[in-house]
Amino acid sequence: MGLELYLDLLSQPCRAVYIFAKKNGIPFELRTVDLLKGQHLSDAFAQVNPLKKVPALKDGDFILTESVAILLYLTRKYKVPDHWYPQDLQARARVDEYLAWQHTTLRRNCLRALWHKAMFPVFLGEPVSPEMLAATLAELDMTLKILEDKFLQKKAFLSGPHISLADLVAITELMHPVGAGCQVFEGRPNLAAWRQRVEAAVGKILFQEAHEVILKVKDTPPADPIIKQKLMPGVLAMIQ
């Protein structure tokens, strides 16, 4: 059996893995795990990833979880252009720096924005107070300022003149609040221009394909009560 990727393109790290594999012509079998139906919580998927999270990679008998680990595995196994994860020590360190920073900052705040602005009221039928939503969006705004001022600065991409894994991970995160209706690039011309460069480097068709689900997330039908009960503990833990 060849490479298998267990993904749901609703998930931002799944989108990063999907885009990277597609862009670099890496052959794989897509194993869709529908998060909103709770398929990641099934006993069958637990055989692949006991943590019951996506993405997951299966390469023969080898199983790997965690999106950054999967992206690095793919860069090392396949002959991909150097700019994704440069051999140059300091250029690679810049990519590593961003990947280490984003887990508890941009990822958390983009995820909270999606759920507080769209998924709680639309999918779960749970109201979110204006105060909580305002606090969530304020946190996101502060994180976006750090992304722009510290990491992007005046460069073309986060780690230098060429797109890298850092940009791919960042843009897939930012499309979460975009899908929820947040104007994250409005009033941020530097960040908006970066987005256009990333989209062009990835390819507009692939970019739109990967983000089709998240850009229609506000049209998600309400959750079945049984599914809602099953999902709620994990959702609350995820967005804390």
CATH number at residue 21: 3.40.30.10
Q: CA 141 → CA 58, 100, 174, 177, distances in Å?
A: 37, 20, 11, 11
> Which of 68, 49, 157 lies closest to 107 in space, CA to CA?
68
Among 39, 58, 81, the domain boundary falls at 81
Q: Find out whether 212 and 222 touch, Cβ atoms under 8 Å.
A: no
Number of domains forming the structure of the chain: 2
Residues 136 and 67 reside in one and the same domain? no
Residues 123 and 233 reside in one and the same domain? yes
Q: How far apart are CA 108 and CA 105, in angstroms?
A: 5
Residue 136 token pair: 């969530």
Domain residue limits at 109: 84-239
Among 29, 55, 81, the domain boundary falls at 81
Stretches in the chain below the pLDDT threshold 70: 1
Residues 234 and 135 reside in one and the same domain? yes
Among 25, 46, 81, the domain boundary falls at 81
Q: If phi over 0 gives left and psi between -120 and 50 gives alpha, with beta otherwise, what is residue 14?
A: alpha
Residues 144 and 178 reside in one and the same domain? yes
pTM of the model: 0.97
31 phi and psi angles, rounded to 5 deg: -110, 100
Residues 31 and 125 reside in one and the same domain? no
Residues 17 and 121 reside in one and the same domain? no
Q: Find out whether 227 and 129 touch, Cβ atoms under 8 Å.
A: no
Question: In the prediction, which pLDDT does 239 show?
Answer: 85
Question: In the prediction, which pLDDT does 98 show?
Answer: 98
Question: In the prediction, which pLDDT does 240 show?
Answer: 77
Question: In the prediction, which pLDDT does 238 show?
Answer: 87
Question: In the prediction, which pLDDT does 145 show?
Answer: 97
Q: How far apart are CA 8 and CA 15, in angstroms?
A: 8
Question: In the prediction, which pLDDT does 120 show?
Answer: 96
